[in-house]
């Protein structure tokens, strides 16, 4: 087992995980998939949110895995877990019942209201690329108190003025159709360039912080719509040696996700 010097510069995955983990301060129940959300929630448990409980889409609550899980249904999540729920209980009671504080979602495309596309690139009937679809994303968006989106790519193809297809609508689109969802929709978008935020219904995403060395203009150019900018844009504090050490030595020593 090699030990990485904590001074080593943060990789993209480490940066996104650390920034996302800080946003989880004081949150209790998190609905998370595998990958960066796993790293962010596990790091948050060791730092800003010791009481955090991760609920997985497979139905596992309160997992205590012996190894870092490779999928949301990894056998190591089940052995030693506090509960394993059926799908009707998970989606009906836990999510729709309003028990999730933060849901993590990803997407191929996001727009200024935090609506998400995970279905197709191009036309739905004759797509250029068929993507996996919603999974539980529609339910996570509609029912979590708020949603964090971690995007590995920040460019105008992913941050689009108009989605090719809206798989997962934020609350503004739902309300326009006469349906009031439980949650605020996307409240944080975390990328290598910075953090976009909105507080809820009626608000579009605004740039609230840039990563060190990134300018406001760079972020606006990488965004496919006319991105609004907060009155004062902060700089995201870089990952600390302690955060990186925890991530590398305790959370993901095998570098399953820290590739």
Among 26, 83, 87, 93, binds other proteins (CB under 8 A): 87
Among 34, 108, 186, 244, binds other proteins (CB under 8 A): 34
Residue whose structure tokens are 């609508």 = 169
Quick check: is 57 catalytic?
A: yes
Task: Give the list of residues 6+ apart from residue 131 with CB closer than 8 angstroms, or none.
Answer: 108, 117, 118, 119, 120, 121
Number of residues that bind other proteins (CB under 8 A): 62
Stretch binding other proteins (CB under 8 A), from 5-13, 17-25, 164-172, 202-210: 164-172
227, 206 Cβ separation under 8 angstroms: yes
Among 14, 21, 24, 35, binds other proteins (CB under 8 A): 35
Residues 206-235 that bind other proteins (CB under 8 A): none
CA distances to 133, 142, 173 from 120, rounded to whole Å, are 8, 20, 19
Q: Is residue 167 part of the contact set for other proteins (CB under 8 A)?
A: yes
Among 194, 131, 202, 198, CA closest to 168: 131
189, 151 Cβ separation under 8 angstroms: yes
Q: Is residue 144 part of the contact set for other proteins (CB under 8 A)?
A: no
CA distances to 57, 78, 98, 146, 152 from 136, rounded to whole Å, are 7, 20, 15, 15, 20
Among 99, 173, 206, 245, binds other proteins (CB under 8 A): 173
Distance (Å, rounded) from C-alpha 74 to C-alpha 118? 23
Stretch binding other proteins (CB under 8 A), from 88-96, 193-201, 224-232, 247-255: 88-96
Q: Which is the catalytic residue, given 14, 23, 57, 146? A: 57
Question: Which CB atom, from 48 or from 166, has the smaller least distance to other proteins?
Answer: 166
52, 42 Cβ separation under 8 angstroms: no
Residue whose structure tokens are 């912080």 = 209
Q: Is residue 99 part of the contact set for other proteins (CB under 8 A)?
A: no
**Residues with a known catalytic role:** 57
The residue ranges that bind other proteins (CB under 8 A) are: 33-35, 57-60, 70-75, 78-80, 84, 86-88, 91-92, 95-96, 115, 119, 124-139, 142-143, 165-182
């Amino acid at each position: 087992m090699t030990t990485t010097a904590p001074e080593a510069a943060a990789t993209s995955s480490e940066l996104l995980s650390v920034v996302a983990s800080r946003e989880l301060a004081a949150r209790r129940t998190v609905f998370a998939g595998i990958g960066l959300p796993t790293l962010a929630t596990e790091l948050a448990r060791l730092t800003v949110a010791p009481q955090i409980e991760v609920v997985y889409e497979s139905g596992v609550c309160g997992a205590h895995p012996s190894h870092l899980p490779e999928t949301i249904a990894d056998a190591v999540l089940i052995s030693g877990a506090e509960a394993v729920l059926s799908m009707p209980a998970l989606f009906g009671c836990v999510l729709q019942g309003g028990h999730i504080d933060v849901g993590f979602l990803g997407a191929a495309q996001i727009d200024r209201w935090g609506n998400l596309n995970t279905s197709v690139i191009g036309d739905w009937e004759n797509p250029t690329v068929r993507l996996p679809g919603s999974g539980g994303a529609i339910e996570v968006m509609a029912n979590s108190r708020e949603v964090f989106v971690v995007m590995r790519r920040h460019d105008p193809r992913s941050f689009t003025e108009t989605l090719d297809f809206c798989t997962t609508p934020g609350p503004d689109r739902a309300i326009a159709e006469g349906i009031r969802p439980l949650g605020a929709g996307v409240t944080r978008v975390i990328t290598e360039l910075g953090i976009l935020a909105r507080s809820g219904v009626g608000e579009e995403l605004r740039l609230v912080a840039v990563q060190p060395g990134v300018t406001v203009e760079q972020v606006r150019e990488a965004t496919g719509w006319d991105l609004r900018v907060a009155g004062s844009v902060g700089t995201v504090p870089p990952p600390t040696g302690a955060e990186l050490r925890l991530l590398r030595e305790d959370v993901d020593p095998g570098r399953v996700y820290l590739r």
